[in-house]
Amino acid sequence: MAREEKRLLEAGVTVVREARLEPWGVIELWIEDPTEHRILLVEVPSDHPLRRDPR
């Protein structure tokens, strides 16, 4: 996610909150579009239980 955060910053995207590992085990990065809508980007690590959920 750090690489994507850097790419977005270089492209002029507003990062509202830097990428960080949350207590629930996913990495979240908050950005904002030009109309001030917030967008959440989530990375699920390969060892996270969601990766094994068959749903």
40, 30 contact by CB (below 8 A): yes
pTM given for the model? 0.82
User: Looking at this protein, which amino acid is placed at residue 6?
Assistant: K
Ranges of each domain in the chain: 2-52
Evaluate if residue 53 carries a pLDDT over 90.
no
* pLDDT at residue number 23: 96
CATH code of domain 2-52: 3.10.180.10
Neighbours of 1 (CB within 10 A): 17
Work out whether the CA dihedral 3, 38, 16, 48 comes out positive or negative. Answer: negative
* pLDDT at residue number 7: 95
Query: pLDDT (tens digit, 9 = 90+) per residue, 8-47?
Result: 999 999 999 999 999 999 999 999 999 999 999 999 999 9
